[in-house]
Amino acid sequence: MNAVYIEELARHVGREVLVQGWLYNKRSSGKVRFVIVRDGTGLVQGVVTPDADPDAFALAERLPQEASLRVWGTVRVDPRAPGGHELSVTRIEPVHIPKEPFPIGLKEHGVGFLMDHRHLWIRMRRQAPILRVRDAVLWAIRAFFHERGYVATEAPIVVGTAVEGTTTLFPLEYFGQPAYLSQSGQLYLEATCMALGKVYWIGPVFRAEKSKTRRHLTEFWMAEAEVAFLEHDGNLQLQEDLVRYIVESVVAERRRDLEELERDPEVLLAEVAAPFARVTYREAVDIVRARGVAMEPGEDFGAPGEDALSQHFGRPVFVERFPARIKPFYMKRDPENPDLALNADLIAPEGYGEIIGGSQRVDSEEELLRQLCEANLPEEAYRWYMDLRRWGSVPHSGFGLGVERVVAWVAGIPHIREAIPFPRTLDRLYP
């Protein structure tokens, strides 16, 4: 008999099937025993009675949580069962019976304990749907760019230069030379977009920031795009199209997981239905201050400021044209006001913070050199980057999207650490 996955059970009603998985939970009521089996695609309740199979009935009492097993049974529709389908069990075959109790019970646990057991925690009820949503987000990003003819190109992970400065880099030794883990693939994408026109990549980046917040990881995944001949306004439109595409794809493909997470798909769809809001940095500062959050013009927005903007608009909002002084050296200046950068941050709704940072890039050699010097960065290390402005420089723009922040928003989970299988945070390198 061929094995089936639990998510396919609706197609097998009335037939006997084999389900292979793990014992999630069991209950007993004298002469009826219930085994809740998970297989990675969902949960199903098996009903075991002594008359159907005495051996299975005995096993249903004995098997501990997370025992791996094969279960044969007939699929029935039953509204009493979680998921709507139920298995009338005819046979149970243990694959592996644990000798010790599974560390993670079905009752509540503390965050520290769960994080220490992350390798087992991901088996539990809420975690699997989150990771399936993550998969759907990543697929949506790839599909979006692939449909538009973008070429996926990779940036190196081990690099010799900083993108944003040197304080947040993880240093390592590279055959006797100093090297770093990349904090962004952007500079390399600028090079590949001059070769291929429009490019993207999805990869891990590393920031040694000593941040302890629900929005930060030291290792996270970024989806970055870079497009030759694309200017600021087109860049914003591209980002908006991408974010809407992601949300609509995930809702279409993973509605059941969102519902399992008690995330209302209609709320998400409503948030991205209308054109995203767009405000300038100056307007945003006024809005933030009007909502009672203290900040001075010229400062970056803190988390409370982002939350205020988030609440004010109730949908994604672009904040554009920041003071160039507080932004990286590679951003092109606003031709109408050289104190401003041609950049934008995209703030997600519901307090999920900045999910995209992007800008039009400097395209003139002289301007780039000047801004490199102002940022006190070593010219020599950026010589190759300067070369891009020496041969056929064109206006170009790009952005980076924080995958885990998007997953957290779409899944509606409070903390980014659950949006990646094995989060790396300030004080956590295990497991």
Partner RNA sequence: UCCCCGGUAGCUCAGUUGGCAGAGCAGCCGGCUGUUAACCGGCGGGCCGGAGGUUCGAGUCCUCCCCGGGGAGCCA
- Position 398 contacts RNA (CB under 7 A): no
**Cβ pair 211, 426 in contact under 8 A:** yes
The C-alpha atoms of residue 39 and residue 61 are separated, in whole angstroms, by 20
Q: Which residues pair with 303 in a beta bridge?
A: none
Q: Is the dihedral of CA 224, 229, 235, 237 positive or negative?
A: negative
Which of 138, 303, 369, 386 contacts RNA by CB under 7 A?
303
**Cβ pair 218, 425 in contact under 8 A:** yes
Which of 16, 78, 93, 135 contacts RNA by CB under 7 A?
78
**Which residues in 236-275 contact RNA (CB under 7 A)?**
none
Is 249 or 310 the residue whose CB approaches RNA more closely? 310
**Cβ pair 401, 229 in contact under 8 A:** no
Is 64 or 252 the residue whose CB approaches RNA more closely? 64
- CA distances to 51, 62, 307, 398 from 35, rounded to whole Å, are 16, 11, 44, 51
- Position 90 contacts RNA (CB under 7 A): no
Stretch that binds RNA, among 12-20, 103-111, 238-246, 269-277 (CB under 7 A): 103-111
**Which residues in 136-165 contact RNA (CB under 7 A)?**
164
**Which residues in 160-179 contact RNA (CB under 7 A)?**
164, 168
- Position 101 contacts RNA (CB under 7 A): yes
234 burial (CB, 10 Å; 0-12 / 13-18 / 19+) is middle
Stretch that binds RNA, among 4-12, 78-86, 266-274, 368-376 (CB under 7 A): 78-86
Ramachandran class of 102: left when φ > 0, alpha when ψ lies in -120 to 50, beta otherwise: beta
Q: Cβ of residue 10: shortest distance to RNA, in angstroms?
A: 17
Q: Cβ of residue 113: shortest distance to RNA, in angstroms?
A: 4
**Which residues in 194-213 contact RNA (CB under 7 A)?**
207, 209-213
Q: Cβ of residue 312: shortest distance to RNA, in angstroms?
A: 17
Place of tokens 């304990």: 113
Stretch that binds RNA, among 74-82, 127-135, 232-240, 312-320 (CB under 7 A): 74-82
Stretch that binds RNA, among 2-10, 235-243, 267-275, 415-423 (CB under 7 A): 415-423
Could you give the 3-state DSSP secondary structure of residue 312? helix
**303-313 and 281-290 helices, crossing angle to 10°:** 90
Stretch that binds RNA, among 15-23, 150-158, 388-396, 414-422 (CB under 7 A): 414-422
Which of 10, 77, 95, 106 contacts RNA by CB under 7 A?
106
Query: Is residue 3 within a helix (H) or strand (E), and if so which, with residue range?
Result: strand 3-4
Instruction: Please report, to the nearest 10 degrees, the dihedral formed by the alpha carbons of residues 8, 243, 238, 272 taken in order.
Output: 110
- Position 99 contacts RNA (CB under 7 A): no
Q: Cβ of residue 402: shortest distance to RNA, in angstroms?
A: 3
